[in-house]
Amino acid sequence: VIARQTAEEARVDLSLETRQEGDYAVVELTGEVDVYTAPKLRECLVELVDDGRHHLLVDLEKVEFLDSTALGVLVGGLKRVRSHGGSMSLVCTQDRLLKIFRITGLTKVFSIFDSVDAAISAAG
């Protein structure tokens, strides 16, 4: 497990933790992803892609809040991995977050799974 949380990230109410599961880099988010904290997520996704990890799973199960800025960063991440022939899926079962993806039409853009295991199995 690579702990990515820094003192600064703790102050902005978002922590990110990454780990490798097979071919996939799993990014586990905890807290709020909004116009203030989304740059931390973007930085993390960019670093992963720059490190050559082009298959990403973003785990939103511990996310308490998410707005359109976060959606923009996720879409940006998806574009970035796809440009390298990679993939990015989401893990989310929270109704209030799924509703955001439905309202914005992004359920048609992202593959969203109930668990990390389910996402990895589906990629099979």
Partner 1 sequence: MASVLLRIPPEAAFVQLTRLVAAAMARKSLVDEPVLDDIRLAVGQACARAVSAHQDQLLADPVVVGFRDDDTIEVTVSDRVGLAEAEGDAAMEVLTEATSAIRPRDSRDLYELAVPGAAAIALIRGLAEDLTVTTGPTGSAVQMRWSPQLGGAPGGREPSS
| Residues within the interface to partner 1 (CB under 8 A) | 12-13, 32, 34-36, 38-39, 42, 65, 67-69, 71-73, 75-76, 95-96, 99-100, 102-108
Nearer to partner 1, 32 or 61 (CB): 32
Supply the minimum distance, in Å, between the C-beta of residue 6 and partner 1: 17
Supply the minimum distance, in Å, between the C-beta of residue 1 and partner 1: 27
Supply the minimum distance, in Å, between the C-beta of residue 87 and partner 1: 18
Q: How far apart are CA 60 and CA 66, in angstroms?
A: 9
Nearer to partner 1, 7 or 108 (CB): 108
- Pair 29, 22: CB distance under 8 Å: no
Q: How far apart are CA 124 and CA 24, in angstroms?
A: 11
Nearer to partner 1, 54 or 120 (CB): 54
Q: How far apart are CA 31 and CA 54, in angstroms?
A: 24
Q: What are residue 33's DSSP bridge partners?
A: 66
Q: How far apart are CA 37 and CA 34, in angstroms?
A: 5
Supply the minimum distance, in Å, between the C-beta of residue 19 and partner 1: 24
